[in-house]
Amino acid sequence: MVAQVIDGKAFAAKVRAQVADQVAKLKEENGITPGLAVVLVGEDPASQVYVRSKGKMTVEVGMNSYEHKLDAETSEAELLALIDKLNTDPAVHGILVQLPLPKHLNEDLVINSIDPAKDVDGFHISNVGLLGTGQKSMVPCTPLGCLMMLRDHHGSLSGMDAVVIGRSNIVGKPMAQLLLGDSCTVTIAHSRTKDLPDVVRRADIVVAAVGRPEMVPGDWIKEGATVIDVGINRIERDGKTKLVGDVDYASAAERAGAITPVPGGVGPMTIACLLANTLTACCRANKLPEPEGLTA
């Protein structure tokens, strides 16, 4: 079997176009422009790149982008005061604090100081609890993007066996909750899982979120399974720097029914879902119907 490639880049462009349509409608019919505030503390080069592209895409879909760049020595009190201001600013519907934060700042405390209704990353403890109990919440962007691609490919996921490799709070755990919400039978595998190949071989859906280059070889993949590769790993090969996933793409594509490439799979969906979440937060704040197909 040669796998169908799930084109995350094209899918993300479709999601962004949908968001842009809805934003235009909100402006025209309700006089409302959704606003996303992104807070960056320090000068981490990767974070700077992410923040820049988030700002650019926010503006491209017609939303207002508010960037707050604070220096690396910013105190916790200063950061919390800014978040407090954004929490009460009616022009701001989504707040994202770019992680990781410098070591002297308590990430949990900072994230939990964001108004849960504006927590477009879905990391606030209230949103984690709401998702875990199957209630309406803000859903973390990367797992939401994976879910959208899976629903688009399969229609219903009901009854499918899903294995999520990785148990992080930002990808693995919320991904498992979302798959459970769509009635999959879910296994969460991690670094202590016994006989990981055997666990993965049972799966109709494999979501790999580990951070280890090409650790899942093709012979772990059940014939016809759908493989979602969240991993983004920078490696040196043939004297060049290359991005690869957590799955060995070439061998997995020979057995899978469908697979996301790296780059061009899950990555582009993450920012598209951030914009979708900001739109959702804006609609909820204004008691307007939520955009269809853009939430869990």
| Residue 204 or 246 with smaller CB distance to ligand NAD | 246
Choices 28-36, 110-118, 125-133, 161-169; region in contact with ligand NAD by CB under 6 A: 161-169
- Is 55 an interacting residue with respect to ligand NAD (CB under 6 A)? no
Amino acid letter, residue 119: D
| Residue 92 or 128 with smaller CB distance to ligand NAD | 128
**CA distances for 48 relative to 98, 104, 242, angstroms:** 9, 19, 20
Dihedral sign from CA coordinates of 176, 265, 62, 35: positive
Q: Please report, as residue ranges, which positions from 86 to 145 form the binding site for ligand NAD (by CB under 6 A).
A: 142
**3-state SS assignment for residue 236:** strand
Please enumerate in sequence order all residues whose Cβ is within 8 A of that of 10, keeping only pairs 6 or more positions apart, or say none: none
User: From the list 136, 190, 234, 242, which residue makes contact with ligand NAD (rule: CB under 6 A)?
Assistant: 190
Please list the alpha-helical segments (H only) found in 114-170: 125-132, 141-154
Amino acid letter, residue 175: M
**3-state SS assignment for residue 63:** coil
- Is 41 an interacting residue with respect to ligand NAD (CB under 6 A)? no
How many Å apart are CA 261 and CA 227, to the nearest integer? 9
- Is 47 an interacting residue with respect to ligand NAD (CB under 6 A)? no
Choices 44-52, 120-128, 130-138, 162-170; region in contact with ligand NAD by CB under 6 A: 162-170
Which one is catalytic: 22, 118, 119, 121? Answer: 121
| Residue 215 or 288 with smaller CB distance to ligand NAD | 215
User: From the list 68, 118, 124, 167, which residue makes contact with ligand NAD (rule: CB under 6 A)?
Assistant: 167
Catalytic residue flag (residue 69): no
- Is 209 an interacting residue with respect to ligand NAD (CB under 6 A)? yes
DSSP 220: G
How many Å apart are CA 121 and CA 281, to the nearest integer? 11
Dihedral sign from CA coordinates of 126, 129, 131, 135: negative
- For the annotated catalytic residues, the residue numbers are 54, 98, 121
Binding-site ranges for ligand NAD (CB under 6 A): 142, 165-168, 170-172, 189-191, 193, 196, 209-212, 230-233, 266-267, 270
